[in-house]
Amino acid sequence: DRHQNILRFHRLCELDVNRSLKVLILKNLRRVKLWLFLIFILTLLAYNFENSRRRFKNTPPGPWANYIPFIGYLPFLNPQKPEQSLTKLAEKYGKIFSLQMGSIFTVVLSDATLMREAFKRDEFLGRAPLRVTHGIFHGYGLICIEGALWKDQRSLVQKWLRDLGMVKFGLKRELMQQRIMNGINNCISEFKSLHLNEVNPASVIMNAIGNIANDVVFGVTFDKNDETWKYLLHLQEEGVKLVGVNSGANFLPFLRFLPDNKKNMKFLLSGIEATHKIYDGIVDECEKTLNTSECRDSILRRFLLEKRDREERNDGLANNCSRKQLNYLLADMFGAALDTTSHTLRWYLLLIALNLDVQEKVYQEMKNHGLKEEYLLDDVAQLHYLKATIAETQRLKTVAPCGIPHGNPYTDTTLEGYYIPKNTMILPLICAVHLDKTMWENPEIYNPNRFIDSNDIFFTPSNFIPFQTGKRMCVGEELAKMVLQLFCANVLLNFRIRPGQDAATWDLSGISGLTLSPPDFQLIFEKR
């Protein structure tokens, strides 16, 4: 028994030793695995750092976060106000700097002269490599196309707009002026019906500017209560909020599979499909009456005539005038006209209501030139201070703070002595130019006198670029100026505008999306 007990004891000891050895081995294995994992991560980081260092060699300066694998500087951008984050970086790094934004290498420009130099060059004529934003439009339209198709379509649109009246003088200009005044007079009638009541002017402005755009682009207008029109406005408003260069899915494509992003993408794609169905009905009606006076002259009519001519010539360019290209082009033209112009006018009313002395100075200028029943373009040409108030609004509240990004999809190149690799996004930070403390005195203050010279004449400084610059700059700049000047002159002719009781709560930093829109606000339109 004693011998068996001794044997049993030895076995137990062996088992304990074995267990202890196993535990020790497992612990060491875990440590080894952890160390191997850490070594792998450190090696990956070192490789990424060295690879990035080589890649970023002689590229524009930028923050250390550019070297973070996969995401780069993206987490450090304010998703609600990306332009503010970028402006702070511009103050630190200067007029040109670089960011690794997820998978997209980005060069940001914050100097007007440098933007002009870059955007006149063919290397930077391409669209930015924003996979999601541009993927939605499938390479059609005007904003999201490039190459030969872009040159062809932009040239056509420029010609059509001139033919429709986007010119300095002549009968065509008078016809365009009348189209604009129809929308403005409807807007003024709405405001008169709301005399001394607090009102949010957003819907009134959207209807007025929207119908000016409808008339020029489609040759049709809608009643403000038309259900189709309400639906189109809803799609436009929501779409602008969702489609922006600051969308994370543009820079980290896998994010588009997240539930919220999938929901947003579904809304955008279904909205485009629904919009195109509405457009198809308008296009079909225009085609039926193309050669009659029933078909009102418009971008749509000009497109259909060009398509017919190309098909008759059989010159190979008819493919550029497909129905799909037409629908996306119409959407681009309508959206660009409505969104930027309506937001600028809302900002104008907000700022002019907060600066009653400026408002009265504009009215005094009108009185000095003789008050009229309505102001037309020839009259507005004499109102230099009025034009200065509009320009100051565009400077202080740049509705496209990050402009329209460009790209260099075809080749590596250089800019300002820095290496710019192929497929870089070139971002024109227009808001930084307009708020540059070295170029503007007290840039955060609303002061129209910045645009008035010593002879009391309106002028535009070289660092004022609200319509961007270069070969891809706003194709409808002159038309937008006509609308802005006629609207502001005639509204201030008819009303004294005062802020509502909610003025203390207004967030003047605005709401960032594809454009910078003002907050909701209430105004009082007092008849003069």
> Nearest to residue 443, comparing CAs of 459, 452, 456, 432?
432
Q: Token pair of 83, please? A: 């332009």
* 144 marked ligand binding residue: no
What torsion, rounded to 10 degrees, do the Cα atoms 237, 242, 246, 249 define? -170
Q: Would you say 402 and 434 are in contact if contact means Cβ atoms under 8 Å apart?
A: no
In 10 A of CB 11, how many CB atoms? Answer: 10
CA dihedral 458, 462, 464, 470 (to 10 degrees): 120
| Spatial distance between the Cα atoms of 495 and 505, rounded to a whole number of angstroms | 24
What is the sign of the dihedral through the CA atoms of 293, 295, 300 and 305? negative
Residue of 425, 401, 403 lying closest to 415 (CA atoms): 425
Q: Look up residue 215 and give its amino acid.
A: D
Q: In degrees rounded to 5, what are phi and psi of residue 406?
A: -110, 175
Please, are residues 282 and 218 in contact by the beta-carbon 8 Å criterion? yes
Instruction: Supply 419's token pair.
Output: 């290496």
CA nearest neighbour of 109 among 129, 131, 93, 120: 93
- CA-CA distance, 182 to 171, in Å (whole number)? 17
Q: What whole-number distance in Å separates Cα of residue 128 and Cα of residue 123?
A: 12
Non-local (6+) Cβ contacts of 349 within 8 A are 201, 205, 491, 497, 523
Q: Give φ, ψ of 77 to 5 degrees.
A: -80, 135
DSSP 462: T
293: which DSSP letter? T
| Binding-site annotation: residue ranges for heme | 474
**Feature table: binding site:** 474
